[in-house]
A and B are shown apart, each in its own frame.
Chain A
């Protein structure tokens, strides 16, 4: 842990140059998006909004991949391909999620997670 903190604090003082500067901005953006998504997932009670929050998290990761690929490892396309995979999988997940939500809505007439609390004991 301590070591990790040390790494993070050392991040600022790196000799990154111009490329690093641009990348830092993008990382800050994607990190912000990631945590906005996480926050949304934990605070929102509407299932559709929660699904959107998850998408937000996944997309922030996509930004990361593309940025790392472009600025740090431009000779190969690894990161970009990975983000395509993420998009595909996210679509599959969303399909399943919406199916579950619709099914819940049919039986329950609500898409608020607070109404779905049978399992709490």
Chain B
């Protein structure tokens, strides 16, 4: 029952929040909901009986689709990431004021329910349902709160991802008719024997949907705009968790079902990913807006994960699995910092910032740790993941690994450049009046930094989890 509760808790609390009137009550309620989810998933991982991690019930008998959920290693980790991320997000944005805040929190919780469903569903139709269920609240969240151009930008994002997922639906229906007794269950999909030609076509039907979600070059164009225009709380959820949906789905729904096609197209995908890495990193260096910079940096990191998946060896896969978690944690931290800076100073332009470290020393300490994690320095959590991914890629092809490896150099350039421009140097007029971050942001960042350092020094729990 655990996976069902993981979905139901945010779903029900989300629906209830639509009815709450007091803004403070809504915040407390949302926080309460995520604390329960986090506790539940931690209990599910460490304490509860493994049989409680599965759930099966008939749903559409005519169609052969069931309510079936399962928490395996990867799902556990991603559910933990989802619950923890939302907890941290709600702590970090606790002081922010949103107009119509009950809808904001309600939609955030509904989106969380969608994520949980995607990560635990073992029925293709159910998976598709949750895949869309996560998208609809995201559409409303991004369109209702955020920058000037948010409506058009979000619309692009929505149409892009919706088109992708509809194409995936065609693939799902196709596979459904291939299964011997016509079901949508994941196992029957795994047991299919598809001809090479079928695999080649179906691979793209699925992969395009996931590539758009990640996003991977050349499907990434919606991402920087959406991340920039959305309100930061939403962006955290999008980049911290939603981007992982694409990676997760490739690992679960593409690699085992179409092994031949993965083998056949791995070169193309890896090359596209590497183009994505270099291209996004170079653009990130040129960015003046903090949010866009982080957005492009995110594309580079996600592309590396995608390349690692398609290098098809265990080392790289281990790296991807733990990097999904680490990247989520780090990127949420970066967004919190970006948000804090914007709140303090009122601008996101690097060229207009400087010397914030004198005014906000605590924030500066946090950003330095986060920056190291983003660059993947040893002892920060991301190091292990990136190292494994690159060494896996190295086994696949040396040249590709070498080019992909530039990501470390390039990311240190843009990340450290950003830190330097915001926090060091002389204060400028805008940063004169800035004060240090408030308590809630400190709490959120402290949690993140502790996770980063602990997992950097002692990553074994993560490996145990995804084994």
- Do any beta carbons of A and B sit within 8 angstroms of each other in the complex? no
